[in-house]
Structures are given as C-alpha cells and as structure tokens.
Amino acid sequence: MVHWTAEEKAAITSTWAKVNVERDGCDALSRLLCVYPWTQRYFSTFGNLSNITAISGNPKVKGHGKKVLTAVGDAIQHMDDVKRHLAALSKSHAQELHVDPENFKRFGECLVVVLASRLGAAFTPQVQASWEKFINALVAALSHGYF
Ligand code: HEM
C-alpha cells in the first residue's frame, strides 16, 4: 500500500479542485491520441482522429475524456486504497479491452502536461512530485489485473 503524507494529499486534492473533467479530460486524451497515434486503434469507433484539431473537436473524445478523468477523481477519493478501488476497471482493461498497460503511463504523462499547462506557476516541483507519485500508484493499480 502506498503511504501519503498530508502535504502530498493536499497537493493532489487542491490541484484536482481546479480541474474541469470534461475540458481537461478531452485535452489529456487528445494529447495521448496525437502524441502516441497507435493508441487510436483502441478507439476505432470514434470517427475522425486524423489530426489534433479533429481529435480535440471530436465529441466522442470529449465524452470519453470526461469518463476517464471522472474515474481519476474517484480514485483520488480512495488514495489510501487505490489498488482495490480500481480492481474492476483494471480487469476490464486487461481482459475485455486488451489495452497494453504501457498506455496507462503514457496517459499519465499527458495528464501531468495538461495539469502543468493549466496551473502555471502553481504547478510547483513539489506539486509535480506528488502527481508523479499518484500517477505511479494509479498506473500500478490499473496494471494489477494483468497479472
Ligand atoms: C473505457 C478509465 C486509460 C482504453 C474506460 C472507462 C473508464 C476508463 C472509467 C469506462 C468503463 C465503463 O464504462 O465500464 C480509464 C482510466 C485510465 C484509462 C482511469 C487511466 C488513467 C486508458 C488507456 C486506454 C484506454 C490509456 C487506451 C489507450 C479504453 C477503451 C475503453 C475504456 C478502449 C472503452 C471505450 C468505449 O468503447 O466506450 N476507461 N482508462 N483506457 N478505456 Fe480506459
């Protein structure tokens, strides 16, 4: 189980209070689909993903980005038990969706970039360190159902 200091928890929850799950979810998922274009193969029903304008304006990307960031927000509510909290989602990504777990890391990187661009100077190195730790815990929890 991951141990969190009070400062780390405060950094995560105070950042999250500034997140707009629809806008920022769409931005993070759009970055994933643009920077790592082979991830588009999981979203073959989403229609036009040919360039960043098409991707970020695609209503299915917007809807799915919101779904994913809502799940991240729920995980923040369960930081002390993130592995158990995400067990079912991990199993579905492994056994039904067949998502390569490397992609969780890539999505985490994209999310950190979006948070940094939103927060500017408030995204201090300490805040970033807390997020890197949280993303690692999230990725480990989502990858757990593969083993
Ligand atoms: C579906 C969360 C990363 C591919 C979902 C759903 C959630 C979710 C909540 C909806 C499940 C449901 O409705 O039962 C997350 C979280 C992630 C993550 C929290 C990382 C932080 C990824 C990545 C990929 C991916 C990196 C692929 C590159 C999919 C696909 C679906 C899905 C293909 C089904 C989409 C559909 O057909 O509607 N995910 N996901 N996920 N996820 Fe993820």
Three-state secondary structure string covering 103-122 = HHHHHHHHHHHHHHHHHHHH
Pocket lining: 104 vs ligand 1, CB cutoff 6 Å? yes
Pocket lining: 130 vs ligand 1, CB cutoff 6 Å? no
Question: What is the gyration radius of the CA atoms in the chain, in angstroms?
Answer: 15
Q: Quick one: pLDDT at residue 147?
A: 73
130 with 7: CB under 8 angstroms? yes
- Give the residue, by CA position, lying nearest to ligand 1 atom 37: 43
Q: Quick one: pLDDT at residue 120?
A: 94
Pocket lining: 42 vs ligand 1, CB cutoff 6 Å? yes
Pocket lining: 119 vs ligand 1, CB cutoff 6 Å? no
Tokens 């500034």 map to which residue? 18
- Tell me the CB-side half-sphere exposure of residue 137, using CA atoms within 13 A: 24
pTM > 0.95: yes
What phi, psi does 18 have (nearest 5°)?
A: -95, 0
The rounded Å distance from CA 64 to ligand 1 centre is 8
- Name the packing angle between helices 102-119 and 59-76 (round to 10°): 90
Tens place of pLDDT per residue across the chain (147 aa)? 789 999 999 999 999 999 999 999 999 999 999 999 999 999 999 999 999 999 999 999 999 999 999 999 999 999 999 999 999 999 999 999 999 999 999 999 999 999 999 999 999 999 999 999 999 999 999 999 887
